[in-house]
Amino acid sequence: MRIKSICCIGAGYVGGPTMAIIAAKCPHIKVTVVDTNESRIAGWNDVDVSKIPIFEPGLSAVVAEARGRNLFFSTNVDQAIEEADMIFISVNTPTKTYGLGKGMAADLKYIELCARQIAAVAKTDKIVVEKSTLPVRTAEAIKNILHNTGNGVQFQILSNPEFLAEGTAVSDLLNPDRVLIGGDSSAEGQEAVNALVEIYANWVPNNQILTTNLWSSELSKLTANAFLAQRVSSINAMSELCEKTGADISEVARAIGMDSRIGSKFLKASVGFGGSCFQKDILNLVYIAKSYGLHEVADYWEQVIIMNDHQKRRFATTIVSTLYNTVSAKKIAFLGWAFKKDTNDTRESAAIYVADYLLNEQANIQVFDPQVKDAQIQNDLNYLGSRSESENRSGISCAEDAYQACQGAHAIAVLTEWDEFKEYDWQKIYDSMQKPAFVFDGRNVLNAEKMRKIGFIFQAVGTGK
């Protein structure tokens, strides 16, 4: 089966970049990304391609190349479904905030709505691809919805989880470690798998395209994120021990990272992991384990989340205790709000939780992030519900640049590892601050020796005072 038209439901951090690369590499395929969020689609269609809703290095150039040729963004979901041979589902799967599984299980209401809309609209056979991160055996639920419509349309369900790291999504898509495709073992299922393999084979070597059954594919995504998050929590646990003993976590990480059995990736101590995947996927894994009565397995993975929450809370309490046990009415400058550099995504960012703690201590916070604006910062804090919207507006604001954020501040908290932070005129910043001037480096991006020579009282995660 040769695919001529693709529809992707969901124009977010996964759907937009993935479809842009497919369109760029497969000019013979029409790719339409649809979303009910009109402002998001308008952003993708902005004449100024630098203003597309997702900030990813290199993405705007890819979109500019393919948009209007074979890449389209639309709010007409039904038309795109009807025209497509293959439909990707790339909608949000947040952690449930209500009912059974609250706080752990994935909320699949958007997945179900997509499946029902596809079933209602489709008049010809379709291949439906799970792109969202989903709990194992979600494909079974999608199958039940699609195969019981009674209109004679045949559907094949595939699992094709994304393995993107925000900030490097374009390079991850262009040069993936692997592409994973799960499908049925039936002849029809394998034909569908091969159709998707042919698309990726336009730029990905065949030996990097792995095919499995549906359930293995779904579980592989959760497992990959759980393993990566576990490494972050493991090194952060050791960072606290380093601070107590006088060891340097950077030196410890370098020493163990040179062990070929361990490797160096995801061993940089920090204030904690964020983003849309790690916490959500681990909680989902915990819920699945508990639902099968595997309580020891659930407890093991839940500890990764507990350690991550502890690290964020510990960072905030360190700021308070170092500033003479009070930050009331003191200005704290935040450098960074996004959960990592080279993205404008703030979901589960450590900065949100550190700010929440300090605002409860009546601090005044001013934030500078190269890609995050005031409206998003306010939305993130309002979503937590710890204070009223007016209290958040009076307690935290957004600066035009880092120098404005730091002027008159008692302390600086580095909460995103933007490269530009290393290049600032730190002597100028020091001269503009209240004395003594404190810096708390939650991302280990600044040179401790240089900062201390300038006169800062400098602390970085894992290196102590």
**Residues belonging to the active site:** 277
Select from 139, 140, 239, 152 the least CA-distant residue to 181.
Answer: 139
- The DSSP symbol for 96 reads P
Question: Which residue's entry shows tokens 């300038």?
Answer: 454
Q: Please give the structure tokens belonging to residue 375.
A: 């409206």
Strands (E), 4-151: 5-9, 30-34, 71-74, 86-89, 126-130
Structure-block tokens of residue 345: 């995504």
CA 124/CA 5 separation, integer angstroms:
13
Contact 448, 463 (CB under 8 A): yes
The 10 Å Cβ neighbour count of residue 183 is 28
Q: Is the dihedral of CA 74, 76, 80, 83 positive or negative?
A: negative
DSSP 111-168: HHHHHHHHHHH--S-EEEEE-S---TTHHHHHHHHHTTSSS---EEEEE------TTS
Which run of H or of E encompasses 335? strand 331-335
Nearest of 125, 186, 185, 193 to residue 159 by alpha carbon: 193
Q: Which of 221, 229, 207, 225 is nearest to 139 (CA)?
A: 221
